[in-house]
Amino acid sequence: MESCNENCWILIGERNLDLWWGTTLKRTVGLPCSVEFDYNWVLARENIGKKDVVGFYHTHPSFSAHYSSRDDRTMKCWSLSLGRPLVCCIRGTDGLRAWWYLNDEDPPVECQAKSLRGIVFGITPEECIH
């Protein structure tokens, strides 16, 4: 039976031209309409030079897999803070969807994503390929 509370994971992986992947780590459980992640762990990982956080994955157990206004604000702040694009993956009642946040100003770009045994992967939008 699935939880009625949101769950969240940090995605550790990489972008490689037109493909990206991330392993789900550091699961946290929230409330029915909110969840937090271990931001201190993310910052510590960045500070030691890992720079392999590609984004975040969380669930919407009672509604669609579209980002909320809170998700949007959070992802824009983290993209700005880490200085790079980040992916926001959401599994909702309608399946898995993903968006790349390129910066803190532009709207996110939806991309294809799949999940298999704790690994999330997909096609990198052209806007993210440099």
Is 124 a domain residue?
A: no
Residue 2 exposed, middle or buried by CB count within 10 Å (0-12, 13-18, 19+): exposed
Is 63 a domain residue?
A: yes
Percent of the chain residues topping a pLDDT of 90: 71
Q: What is the CA radius of gyration of the chain?
A: 14
- Structure-token pair, residue 109: 């770009």
Is 41 a domain residue?
A: yes
pLDDT at 128 over 90: no
pLDDT tens track for 32-70: 888 888 899 999 999 998 899 999 999 999 999 999 999
Structural domain range at position 75: 7-85+94-116
Is 31 a domain residue?
A: yes
pLDDT confidence tier of residue 118, bands split at 50, 70 and 90: confident
pLDDT at 129 over 80: no
Number of domains present in the structure of the chain: 1
- Structure-token pair, residue 122: 């997909």
Percent of the chain residues topping a pLDDT of 70: 97
Using alpha carbons, select from 125, 121, 129, 95 the residue that is nearest to residue 110: 125
Is 126 a domain residue?
A: no
